[in-house]
Amino acid sequence: MTASHAVHARSLADPQGFWAEQAKRIDWETPFGQVLDNSCPPFTRWFVGGRTNLCHNALDRHQAARAAQPALVWISTETDEQRTYTYAELYDEVNRMAAILQGLGVQKGDRVLIYMPMIPQATFAMLACARIGAIHSVVFGGFASVSLAARIDDAQPRVIVSADAGSRAGKVVPYKPLLDEAIRLSQHKPEKVLLVDRKLADMPRTEGRDEDYAAWRERVAGAQVPCVWLESSEPSYVLYTSGTTGKPKGVQRDTGGYAVALATSMAYIFCGKAGDTMFTASDIGWVVGHSYIVYGPLLAGMTTVMYEGTPIRPDGGILWRIVEQYKVNLMFSAPTAIRVLKKQDPSWLTRYDLSSLRLLFLAGEPLDEPTARWIQEGIGKPVVDNYWQTESGWPIIAIQRGIEALPPKLGSPGVPAYGYDLRIVDENTGKECAPGQKGVVAIDGPLPPGCMSTVWGDDDRFVRTYWSAVPNRLCYSTFDWGVRDEDGYVFILGRTDDVINVAGHRLGTREIEESLSSHPGVAEVAVVGVQDALKGQVAMGFCIARDAARTATPADRLALEGELMKTVEQQLGAVARPARVFFVNVLPKTRSGKLLRRAIQAVAEGRDPGDLTTIEDPTALEQLQSALKG
Ligand code: AMP
């Protein structure tokens, strides 16, 4: 048995002992009485009775030894700015932000929605919420008003923190008009909106509601806000993610379990230690940003690099220049970013001093073998693929190099991480699959610390969605297909549901369909994910127009396609815009009226659609084919 298998086996045989040891990695104001309460599965409580605070663990406890060490390095190639905050400075900023939020009426348990570009104030706001026991809900800045409104209505924030604008590839993206429109659309209205003015775009303000961050920041200079200690299971945040319905799910995270899980992953998976520098090129709007830009590195006393910009601006060497300049030890990115770099001059990989860099972690989407090989050879560093989800909060499958550097197998993220009783199960029987046999990647409960505790405000949906998908077995479904080999390595083979993964961003085809359907020209629509060499997958729409005259000529079709793209962009954001929208007269459906999405996807990818005995109108597929040919 290898060391990682031994640790894994121990974590499952004796979860109480294993996690009690890991819990020593963080400070507890009140020690927990019970490590695990699994008396009401699938609801799990870790470290019951223990009281702690994420902000205390990320900042306060490091003040004695690391006040002068950089905690947060912020780099923007969009506005050409760089700024380093030491642990003492970050502590001061977070205390000020905490005082501001309290001044705006935020109390323990209140939600604060953060709709921000990648600027330091976004990190201050997250940590400030944690400090005062408020629950943050960060919404990715690439989402537009309808997506944002749905999240406002679900989370019901007392305060929203936002900014005038972000910037993407040199283009200013105003946030405030989208936010105002979202608040207009939502039923729930926040009491206050706190605004950071970057002076990138005009920012109309609503009297009595909108507050200026800079003015408040001066007013609360020197504020010291005591941490509000939370019972371990009290929520730290809600992060929305796409599912198979149009309504996004609020993934609710606890406090103590999350802190312990992240601190443990920093050691066992990321090999990070206090004083190291970690550069996670993600966005705080995604789970990778929550766990490995903000909380993970700071819990471990590391320096975290927050980057506003793209991997190829001003040139294809920017990521490596950052590594050289800030002596980055650990880097975390996504396969799409690497595929983007592959299109650049390969000499960018060798122009900078990368001697500080120990490991490159990649996650969020499947890592194809050529990309893995290209980057590994190009920078001469081990590449660590890791598989996880918004729901888990930290890696489920990885080579856990902090335990042992098991040899990686290209195409596999590795072996199940400690704490996860991972099974590949048959979708029809719930029985475990033999090695080499494809099944659903599932986890037998209890889920380890740090994983979602429930769906925000909807326990029933948590059980219904995640724990009822596999028959004859109470297990958590990841909704991914997978296969395990004889050595225990797991290979991920794509989603079992209608969720797609575009450039590492998870999107629900249902949400995009709802947006397209809202256009008056559309009678029916199907959206599927189609393989793409750069982004992994892209969304493709197939529409039946209400009025055939609108799609009579190629020019008509192009015009309607353009309108539809714009609709999605305005409602959901550019991130959800389909790559193409095609028009047909009929969509492939079963005789009972169910859309045959897999068949549509197969045709769009040029594959054989397989068994179609249930199809109502076989000509539907031919129509798809000719629409694709244009
Ligand atoms: P998200 O919740 O947005 O992080 O998306 C999670 C989904 O992304 C998973 O359910 C997988 O479908 C996919 N995913 C994440 N990491 C990997 C990986 N390393 N390999 C393959 N698929 C991945």
Distance 558 CA to ligand 1 centre (A): 33
Q: pTM of whole model > 0.75?
A: yes
Taking the C-alpha atoms of residue 561 and residue 555, their distance in angstroms, rounded to an integer, is 10
How many residues are listed for the chain in this entry? 630
Distance 86 CA to ligand 1 centre (A): 33
Atom 1, ligand 1: residue with shortest CA distance: 389
Say yes or no to pLDDT of 245 above 80.
no
Structural domains counted in the chain: 1
Written as one letter, the residue type at 459 is D
Say yes or no to pLDDT of 622 above 80.
yes
Say yes or no to pLDDT of 558 above 80.
yes
Q: Where are the extended beta strands (E) located within 370-511?
A: 383-387, 397-398, 415-416, 421-425, 439-444, 454-455, 475-484, 490-495, 499-502, 505-508
Whether 300 is covered by a domain: the verdict is no
Q: Label residue 459 by pLDDT band (50, 70, 90).
A: very high
196, two tokens: 């950071």
Taking the C-alpha atoms of residue 229 and residue 269, their distance in angstroms, rounded to an integer, is 28
Say yes or no to pLDDT of 51 above 90.
yes
Is 364 near ligand 1, meaning CB less than 6 Å away? Answer: yes
Output the pLDDT for position 591.
Answer: 85
Is 180 near ligand 1, meaning CB less than 6 Å away? Answer: no
Is 241 near ligand 1, meaning CB less than 6 Å away? Answer: yes
Tens of pLDDT, residue by residue over 33-46, are: 999 999 999 999 99
Distance 565 CA to ligand 1 centre (A): 26
Q: Are 537 and 501 in contact (CB under 8 A)?
A: yes
Taking the C-alpha atoms of residue 197 and residue 240, their distance in angstroms, rounded to an integer, is 26
Output the pLDDT for position 592.
Answer: 81
Written as one letter, the residue type at 265 is S
Atom 23, ligand 1: residue with shortest CA distance: 365
Output the pLDDT for position 89.
Answer: 98
> Position of tokens 């609710």?
252
Tens of pLDDT, residue by residue over 262-297, are: 999 999 999 999 999 999 999 999 999 999 999 999
Question: Which helix (H) or strand (E) covers residue 331, if one does?
Answer: strand 330-333
Is 477 near ligand 1, meaning CB less than 6 Å away? Answer: no
Is 336 near ligand 1, meaning CB less than 6 Å away? Answer: no
Say yes or no to pLDDT of 521 above 80.
yes
SS3 call for 86: strand
Whether 596 is covered by a domain: the verdict is yes
Q: What is the mean pLDDT of residues 138-149?
A: 94
Taking the C-alpha atoms of residue 521 and residue 562, their distance in angstroms, rounded to an integer, is 12
Whether 524 is covered by a domain: the verdict is yes
CATH number for the domain including 523? 3.30.300.30
Q: Residue 338: what are its φ and ψ, rounded to 5°?
A: -70, -40
By most ligand atoms within 8 Å of CB, the mutation choice from 280, 365, 500 for ligand 1 is: 365
Atom 10, ligand 1: residue with shortest CA distance: 389
Atom 5, ligand 1: residue with shortest CA distance: 389
Whether 614 is covered by a domain: the verdict is yes
Written as one letter, the residue type at 521 is G
Taking the C-alpha atoms of residue 431 and residue 470, their distance in angstroms, rounded to an integer, is 9
Is 254 near ligand 1, meaning CB less than 6 Å away? Answer: no
Whether 197 is covered by a domain: the verdict is no
Say yes or no to pLDDT of 611 above 80.
no
Residue % of the chain over a pLDDT of 70 = 100
Give whichever of 61-75, 585-599, 615-629 has the largest mean pLDDT.
Answer: 61-75
Q: Label residue 207 by pLDDT band (50, 70, 90).
A: very high
Residue 264: name the closest of 86, 420, 55, 138 by CA.
420
Say yes or no to pLDDT of 246 above 80.
no
Taking the C-alpha atoms of residue 202 and residue 181, their distance in angstroms, rounded to an integer, is 15
Question: Range of 616's domain?
Answer: 500-629
Is 506 near ligand 1, meaning CB less than 6 Å away? Answer: yes
Distance 601 CA to ligand 1 centre (A): 19
Question: What HEC string does 280-337 produce?
Answer: ECCCCCCHHHHHHHHHHHHHCCCEEEEEECCCCCCCCCHHHHHHHHHCCCEEEECHHH
Instruction: Please give the C-alpha separations between residue 47 and each of 36, 56, 447, 450, in angstroms, as whole numbers.
Output: 6, 17, 13, 11
Say yes or no to pLDDT of 177 above 90.
yes
Q: What is the mean pLDDT of residues 169-188?
A: 97
Q: Which atom of ligand 1 is nearest to the CA of 362?
A: 19
Mean pLDDT over the full length of the chain: 96
Is 492 near ligand 1, meaning CB less than 6 Å away? Answer: yes
Say yes or no to pLDDT of 181 above 90.
yes
Q: Label residue 1 by pLDDT band (50, 70, 90).
A: confident
Distance 471 CA to ligand 1 centre (A): 23
Tens of pLDDT, residue by residue over 388-442, are: 999 999 999 999 999 999 999 999 999 999 999 999 999 999 999 999 999 999 9
Q: Label residue 125 by pLDDT band (50, 70, 90).
A: very high
Is 482 near ligand 1, meaning CB less than 6 Å away? Answer: no
Output the pLDDT for position 471.
Answer: 95
Whether 601 is covered by a domain: the verdict is yes
Output the CA torsion sign for 256, 260, 265, 266. Answer: positive
Tens of pLDDT, residue by residue over 92-102, are: 999 999 999 99
Tens of pLDDT, residue by residue over 322-367, are: 999 999 999 999 999 999 999 999 999 999 999 999 999 999 999 9
Written as one letter, the residue type at 431 is K
Whether 527 is covered by a domain: the verdict is yes
Is 495 near ligand 1, meaning CB less than 6 Å away? Answer: yes
Beta partners for residue 538, in sequence order: 530
Say yes or no to pLDDT of 590 above 90.
no
Whether 229 is covered by a domain: the verdict is no
Taking the C-alpha atoms of residue 493 and residue 504, their distance in angstroms, rounded to an integer, is 15
